[in-house]
Amino acid sequence: MSTIRVSDDVKERLRDLKRDDESFNDLLDRLSRSEKDVEEIAQSLGAINDGTLGERMEEANDELNESLERRTEK
């Protein structure tokens, strides 16, 4: 286990970001993974984008909306 020194201002900002059920260690782990995860997702989207990604997303959105409409009609 290590100690990390932060200013009171930084600690307050971290406290605001921290979820009720997580420790500061959990928070820092989540925040440090988030950026890398987003980069990996962006890279994978670029790899699968054959020029129709936007069209496929719109189709998926339409299907979801239709499904929700059917469920709420009952």
Q: Are 45 and 53 in contact (CB under 8 A)?
A: yes
Domain spans in the chain, listed from the N-terminal domain onward: 8-73
pLDDT in tens, the chain (74 residues): 889 999 999 999 999 999 999 999 998 888 877 666 667 776 666 666 677 777 878 888 888 888 888 877 75
Rg (CA), the chain: 20
**Whether the predicted model's global pTM rises above the 0.75 cut:** no
Instruction: Say which residue the tokens 């605001």 belong to.
Output: 16
Q: In terms of residues, how long is the chain? A: 74
